[in-house]
Amino acid sequence: MNAVANYNFAYLDEQTKRMIRRAILKAVAIPGYQVPFSSREMPMPYGWGTGGVQVTASIIGPDDVLKVIDQGADDTTNAVSIRAFFAKVAQVQTTTHTAEATIIQTRHRIPERKLEAGQILVYQVPIPEPLRFLEPRETETRKMHALEEYGLMHVKLYEDIARHGRIATTYAYPVKVEGRYVMDPSPTPKFDNPKMHRSEALQLFGAGREHRIYAVPPHTDVVSLDFEDHPFEIQHFEHPCALCGAEQVYLDEVILDDRGGHMYVCSDTDHCEERREAGHVGVLGMQEAAE
Amino acid sequence: MYVAVKGGEAAIANAHRLLADRRRGDRSVPALRLDQIVEQLGLAVDRAMGEGSLYDRELAALALLQARGDLIEAIFLVRAYRTTLPRFGYSEPIDTGAMKIERRISATFKDLPGGQMLGPTFDYTHRLLDPSIVGEDAEVPAVREAEDEQAPRVTDLLGRQGLIEPDGEAGEDHEVGDLTREPLDFPLDRDLRLQALARGDEGFLLALGYSTQRGYGRTHPFVGEIRIGEVEVEFDIPELGFAVSLGRVRVTECQMVNQFKGSAKIPPQFTRGYGLVFGQAERKAMAMSLVDRALRAKEFGEDITAPAQDEEFVISHSDNVQATGFVEHLKLPHYVDFQAELDLIRRMRAEHEARAEQQEATE
């Protein structure tokens, strides 16, 4: 049973990698289309990033530099675990700096720093089908995509407006890719949607449990669905980051006490740290300096 | 003062150290050996093998030990190991008619060629806790080995008279699917459906099978036959030009015989539901055969009204490794999405309050 310890480079066997690469190539060729692939059991649970891990394992090479984030942060437990996994089975260099990474695997966020040509962003996707909660059947949703029949989605968004006065989708906000397929951007906050549009980086999406891979190649149109009289808009925060003073970034709310005290800090920890190193200071940083 | 959530790495390492400690438990109690688990917790081992889809009792025992007895965790461990194994090819179909039988019962015939054999069953035991089995020296009567006797399958006996549909014929060109190599594509053929059911969660299939008995997709089942025993696994080696035996595996097979009134094309005859599972897993095999029959509703032109008849519903949710992963992923951080929802609800509440104030002012 000692043989159990011998795993191939990046865990997956070469046959499996080839199968996944074929799916990725097809996905890149048809932007936004969900390509079925034969997802494998991975040594972490389904729903914890197995799709992203399989995509990363198939594209990673010894010279790659890997960054893994969860909720924008490099130090959340699952990001730590996935990074450690690749450091172990592929012995690749890892980093927390967005600029240094060649592959960035992410759950729920796109880094604040603009991605560049040559970088690959790998998303972990729980439910790849944007129509799933409107129509639970795969057999039906496949037909709807094939016929470009997205009326149901527009009706849903319209009903939101009728009921709440606005589109009440705040994350996993549906987008249309290159004017053809409606796609789920994974549960990133809609704040990040504009970053996908004509990005210079290749964006790959892996859904392990649901056996789907899809892609947005560089310089592809990614448009958030909306109406002329209710245009798409992203979240705006009233305060800058309390640590680095950044504005126009996505913030996490941190509860400070049980009397309603709270503060807002950058969700992208790397972005926040780099700014602070560069001398930017937020409200809280100033207090600290004063103390 | 805000403290950044650092040290995830150290926290994980510490948690795993604690897990190892708890798994071992009180050091003054002797550690379990794999052979003890294989020999004395055999049915748990069988379930880990069956739903883990890997026939290896020792590995399944290791998985159970490592999982602290958590069956689904053990199944997950077995699966994650199985997926790394190279695939040499596919065995010949096993012949359960030639099974070396340890248990064989039929609920449809009082006596039949080969006879009824109760075998090692919990049936007819009184479920009274028995302290006398505890300890090393508890006396266990030895048993005589069963002699080999030909026991043709009940469905073959019925089939000779044309009273029951024959074994499913997939057709000459049909290549048997493999759900571990190809993504599922609904609607499925029965071969893939049976594969999915064979590794499906016992509890889920049990509940679904039960629901068909209570009227949600009724199938009027009889246990034609349940048989448990060892069968030979043969592998065709192209260089040799003939099949060689790889060894024996223990399986449980259940053939459910179901009523069918016939249709315009098919004369009235009995239909079947089929269950086949690694090891001794009678409950699972029975539940599987009930669900298999329920899922064939379309084939027989029956109304599809119940969950157990809905292929996409059943097969998409029968895998407990997938189910447990996705249910348990909810404990991963979701604060980015939650922040987005918080923001929206605060804004909507503010608007609601403003509207209420305005209304009060105008009144």
> What's the DSSP call for residue A229?
T
CATH classification of A2-224, choosing from 3.40.50.11720, 3.50.50.60, 3.40.640.10, 3.40.50.11310? 3.40.50.11310
* Chain A contact probe: residue of B16, B317, B339 with most A CBs at under 10 A: B339
Q: Distance (Å) from the C-alpha of residue A19 to the closest C-alpha of chain B?
A: 10
Mean of per-residue pLDDT scores for chain A:
93
Query: pLDDT tens for residues B206-252?
Result: 999 999 999 999 888 999 999 999 999 999 988 898 999 999 999 99
Q: Is the pLDDT of residue A6 over 50?
A: yes
Tokens of B50: 């069956």
Closest Cα partner for A65 from A40, A33, A90, A28? Answer: A90
- Alpha-helical regions (H) of B129-201: 154-159, 190-198
Q: What is the DSSP string of A9-52?
A: TTBS-HHHHHHHHHHHHHHHHSTT--EE--PPP-SS-TTSSHHH
Residue-level pLDDT at B1: 35
- Per-residue confidence at B265, pLDDT binned at 50, 70, 90? confident
The answer to whether A286 faces chain B, any CB pair under 8 Å, is no
Residue-level pLDDT at A1: 40
Residue-level pLDDT at A36: 97
Residue-level pLDDT at A118: 96
Whether residue B9 and residue A80 make contact (CB cut-off 8 A), yes or no, is yes
B16 CB neighbours in chain A (<8 A) are none
Active site residues of A: 32, 241, 244, 266, 272
Nearest neighbour of A45 by CB, restricted to B76, B184, B344: B76
Tokens of B4: 């950044």
Closest Cα partner for A211 from A97, A87, A50? Answer: A50
Residue-level pLDDT at B145: 66
Query: pLDDT tens for residues A161-173?
Result: 998 888 989 999 9
Non-local CB neighbours of B160 within 8 Å, separated by 6+ positions: none
Q: Choose from A163-172, B70-79, B182-191, B353-362 the range with maximum mean pLDDT.
A: B70-79
Give the Cβ contact number of residue B68 at 10 Å: 13
Query: pLDDT tens for residues B102-145?
Result: 999 999 888 888 889 999 999 999 899 988 888 866 677 777 66
Antiparallel, parallel or unpaired: β A222-224 and A35-36:
unpaired
- Gap between the Cα atoms of B337 and B363, Å rounded: 39
Domain boundaries in chain A? Answer: 2-224, 251-290
Which helix (H) or strand (E) element contains residue B221?
strand B221-237
The answer to whether B321 faces chain A, any CB pair under 8 Å, is yes
Q: Distance (Å) from the C-alpha of residue A198 to the closest C-alpha of chain B?
A: 24
Tokens of B231: 């069968």
Residue-level pLDDT at A291: 54
Residue-level pLDDT at B147: 63
Q: Is the pLDDT of residue A290 over 80?
A: no
Choice among A45-54, B59-68, B84-93 with the minimum mean pLDDT: B84-93
Cβ proximity of A187 and A132 under 8 Å: no
Q: Is the pLDDT of residue A174 over 80?
A: yes
Q: Distance (Å) from the C-alpha of residue B334 to the closest C-alpha of chain A?
A: 7
B86 CB neighbours in chain A (<8 A) are 13
- Per-residue confidence at A4, pLDDT binned at 50, 70, 90? very low
Cβ proximity of B106 and B225 under 8 Å: yes
- Gap between the Cα atoms of B155 and A147, Å rounded: 46
Cβ proximity of B101 and B251 under 8 Å: no
Tokens of B268: 């009235």
- Per-residue confidence at B3, pLDDT binned at 50, 70, 90? very low
Which helix (H) or strand (E) element contains residue A181?
strand A181-183
Residue B155 burial (10 A CB sphere; 0-12, 13-18, 19+): buried
Name the 3-class secondary structure at B30: coil
Q: Tell whether omega for the bond before B113 is within 30 degrees of 0, i.e. cis.
A: no
Percentage of chain B beyond pLDDT 70 is 96
Whether residue B321 and residue A189 make contact (CB cut-off 8 A), yes or no, is no
Complex ipTM > 0.85: no
Within 110-169 of A, beta carbons closer than 8 Å to B belong to 126, 137-139, 164-165, 168
Residue-level pLDDT at B138: 65
Q: Is the pLDDT of residue B146 over 90?
A: no
B321 CB neighbours in chain A (<8 A) are 41, 45-46
Cβ proximity of B294 and B282 under 8 Å: no
- Gap between the Cα atoms of A65 and A103, Å rounded: 6
Whether residue A81 and residue B12 make contact (CB cut-off 8 A), yes or no, is yes
- Is 0.90 surpassed by the pTM of this model? no
Whether residue A48 and residue B336 make contact (CB cut-off 8 A), yes or no, is no
Q: Is the pLDDT of residue A26 over 80?
A: yes
Query: pLDDT tens for residues A30-79?
Result: 999 999 999 999 999 999 999 999 999 999 999 999 999 999 999 888 99
Q: Is the pLDDT of residue B262 over 80?
A: no
The answer to whether B236 faces chain A, any CB pair under 8 Å, is no
